[in-house]
Amino acid sequence: MIKVGVVGYGVIGQRLADGVILQEDMELVGVAGNSKPTLAIRALKEKGMPYNLYMASFENKELFDELDIPLSGTLEDLVQKCDVILDATRAGVGAKNKELYKKYNKKAIFQGGEKNEVADVFFHGYANYDKGVGKDFLKLTSCNTTGLIRTVDCLDKAFGVEKIAITIIRRVADPGDYHRGLTNALKVDPAPSHQAVDLMTIMPHVQATGILVHTPVTHGHIITVVASLKEDINKEQLLEVFKAHPRIRVVKIADGFQGNAALFRYARDLGNPRGDMYETAVFDETIVKSGTDIMFAINIPQEAVVIPESIDAIRAALKMQVDGNEAVSLTNKYLGMGKWM
């Protein structure tokens, strides 16, 4: 069994821990939090401490003692017990933690907020799995880029993609975050968006550009994609390949899936923990032709969409599976993806 530690127990870290627990060929050693009993850690205690908790330091141990929250050791203790670390800390912290991972000769997977230089490979489970096999340090793409690459890679493998143009309607913060204030405005970033640039880093044969618009909402992003393919296909052909992809869910506006909030509500109705959804959703009625180009819109559930690719990264780095198709199939199986197909 591969021994995994999760460093950073916030929005992504909680979900990474839950995802690792579901993998039948991995063992979660524990999770490392920051120096204070955050709401996530308080919830962990109230749930009966299903995961061992480690801390960067015991600087504020008395705060945990007052709440009767048991600590299993320090971050350094956790690192020594693991084969690989999933680092879900704030941007910049992972780069500092890397020195500790190197000290104990441990592999690590970083999230999209870190700079690309932190890792040997900028990684996506479907688009470039082979490049991550055996590497020590891998970095995931951001939530938007992860979901976007799923759809573009799916089309590229089926029909060939020459170029894309995207517009990202980006949620301003995660649910429960207040640091960006209460707003009633849209904000446009200069083009091209980093998601387009990042996609070209993973898939250098595809020309991509994009515009990003920040919106005062919290439950997911919407991306519109205009794709120029090497084959002139129709909507039915596009739907066929999307519906066959375990990490892409085709939904219909006519069925009530009118946008990001509807998908979040549906995930809660399914009983998914926290209302999480791993899949990229494609809205059926947004698929249209423009000459030989084809356009569609997708939903990105930003809190959970990167979890499957993070698990893929463990499989690649530890050479658990050398073949990418075998690796993603196992991740999908243990996470229960594709069950609606």
What CA–CA distance (Å, rounded) separates 208 from 205?
A: 10
What count of residues does the chain have? 341
Furthest CA-CA distance within the chain: 66
- DSSP 8-state symbol, 17: H
Quote the Cα angle for 127-129-131, to 5°: 110
| Angstrom distance (rounded) from CA 62 to CA 60 | 5
Three-class secondary structure assignment of 223-266: EEEEEEECCCCCHHHHHHHHHCCCCEEEECHHHCCCCHHHHHHH
> Can you spell out the DSSP letters for 127-155?
TSHHHHTT-SEEEEPPHHHHHHHHHHHHH
Residue 143 designated active-site: yes
Rounded CA gap, 19 and 4, in Å?
11
Structure tokens at 116: 């690309």
Contact 148, 199 (CB under 8 A): yes
**For the chain, where are the E strands, in sequence order?**
2-7, 26-33, 53-55, 73-74, 84-87, 107-110, 121-123, 137-140, 161-171, 187-188, 207-215, 221-229, 248-251, 280-283, 288-290, 293-300
Task: Identify the active-site residue in 108, 143, 229, 305.
Answer: 143
The structure tokens listed for 57 are 């330091």
d(CA 75, CA 226) in angstroms, rounded, equals 45
Active site members: 143
